[in-house]
Amino acid sequence: MKFWHKIFTYSILVFILIFNATSVIVIERNHGKMLTREINNALSQNMNIHSSVDAILPIVLIYDSEQYEKNVLANIAKAFVGKVGDEGVYMTITNDKGKSIYNNTDFEISLNRAETEKLKSDEIRYIVRDVGKRTILFTSNLTEINRKIYTFTYMKDITSVYRERMDQYRFYLKVDIIACSAYMLIMFIVSRRLTIPIHRLIRTAQFIAAGAFSERAESRSKDEIGVLANNFNIMASVIEEKIKDLERLNREKQLFIDNFTHELKTPLTSIIGYADYLRTAKTDASQLLDGLNVILSEGKRLESLSFKLMNLIMLEGTEYPMEDMEFCSILAEIKPALEMKARVKRIAIKTSCETARLPLEKDLMKILIFNLVDNAIKASSESQCIAIRTFRQGSDYILEIEDEGMGIESEHLDRIFEPFYMTDKARSRRNNGTGLGLSICQSIATLHNAVISVRSVPDRGTTFSITFRRGGAVL
């Protein structure tokens, strides 16, 4: 059953139950009031008759005549019935032998009357009976005259009271049909309108399940369904971002595999080609030496690629123990090796270090500095300068490596940290570059909760900055 069907059905059932129950309660309450009023009125009339009889009782006692008693009682009854003047008012008077003294009824009265059994002289009993198609209220009491017991029965036709109840039931039945029909129409419209946002959510969910991750649910209200739609849209946005991240990672993995395959293919082709040539061709000593040099160079490139690839793999998802270390001491340890490497191109390396203790992994930090300076050396011309400096900026501690080399074009800056990405592949291969160095540097920076960034101007130089958040203690 659909949700709007449930709302419609359950609301109709509840409405019918409450409306009908209320109608029955109102009708029965009104009927009870009318019946009680008729009963009280009948009892009051019966008491009036009893009072009238008591009033003439002394006169009846003087005459002490049974016939006189009968005439007096019959006259009282006639006078009372005539005084009331209502149609449907009846009265009977019977003596203790069951003989009728007065009777104006137009219907048969049963001889077995429960209200007169064991009736006491000081009480009035009443009972409601169905007589044919009429409903009669019987009230009875006893009066003793000259040691004779007379039973007075005052009767009132209350058929109209019960007819009124049936008329009210018929009226409420018509009202019930009209009200339920109107309520059903209203609830049909309301339930459909209430569930429209849910249908929109379902449709949006189906679109998203089919791959339309940019689809969003319409949210126009501020109620619970509106909040649900907003949260659904937030969830869809998160899913879309996650899907995009997965697609990006898949593309990066595929690109990594493609680049890795390409990087392996070039040196292997050279090694296999020269090895096959030296094996099959007649070569002199000079050609043999040239071939071996090529094989050695390409082998070293493969070795460098394997080492860097291994470093990159090891850095992914690995936790390294950090030690509070003085950063300038690490820079001082690696500086001689950097100067020796730069001496080939007569490049000067200048350092400026502001002391601070940071949580570091010493060997990884040396790899980061060495790779960045090695890239700076490769990008620089002879007699240029490379600056390595550290300083504080607010609560951050920053390491900068700046060169005066050829710089990097702006279109390459967003991709230089991708594995195997090289801005100038020919130059990189001449320098045994693999395009993995900056990826390794970024992984090392991430392990140290640091951020690596780059600024570069073509033909004027490049500056790499590594920012360590909340940069340690000042010494």
Looking at the DSSP bridge assignments, the partners of residue 103 are 92
**Exposure letters 11-40 (e unless 16+ CB within 10 A, then b):** bbeebeeebeeebeeebeeebeebbeebbe
Q: Which tens digits make up the pLDDT trace of 306-344? A: 766 666 566 665 677 888 999 999 999 989 888 988 988
| Kind of pairing between the strands at 100-103 and 461-468 | unpaired
Residue 263 is predicted with a pLDDT of 60
Amino acid at 270: S
Confidence of residue 455 (pLDDT cuts 50, 70, 90): very high
Least confident range of 18-22, 192-196, 365-369, 454-458: 192-196
Strands across the sheet containing 134-145: 100-103, 89-95, 148-157, 134-145, 125-131
What is the rounded distance in angstroms from the CA atom of residue 473 to the CA atom of residue 232? 46
> What pLDDT is attached to residue 413?
84
- 168 versus 270: the higher-pLDDT residue is 168
At which residue do the structure tokens 């009927």 appear? Answer: 31
Cα(454)–Cα(409) distance, rounded to whole angstroms? 12
Element (H, E) at 358: strand 357-360
Cα-to-chain-centroid distance, residue 388: 55
- Nearest Cα neighbor of 448 from 374, 396, 387, 376 is 396
Mean pLDDT score, 295-312 = 71
Q: Check pLDDT > 80 for residue 183.
A: yes
Per-residue tokens: 222: 């501020």
Higher pLDDT pick, 137 / 279: 137
> Cα 125 to the chain's mean position, in Å?
67
Residues 220-241 have a mean pLDDT of 80
* Adjacency order of strands within the sheet including 450-457: 348-352, 385-393, 396-403, 461-468, 450-457
Please state, in angstroms and rounded to a whole number, the distance separating the CA atoms of residues 276 and 272.
6
- Residues 6+ positions from 203 with CB-CB distance below 8 Å: none
Q: Is the pLDDT of residue 293 over 50?
A: yes
Query: How far is Cα 92 from Cα 77, in angstroms, rounded to an integer?
Result: 8
Which pLDDT tens digit goes with each residue over 247-275? 887 876 776 666 666 566 767 877 888 78
At 106 the pLDDT is: 84
On the question of pLDDT at 427 being above 50, the answer is no
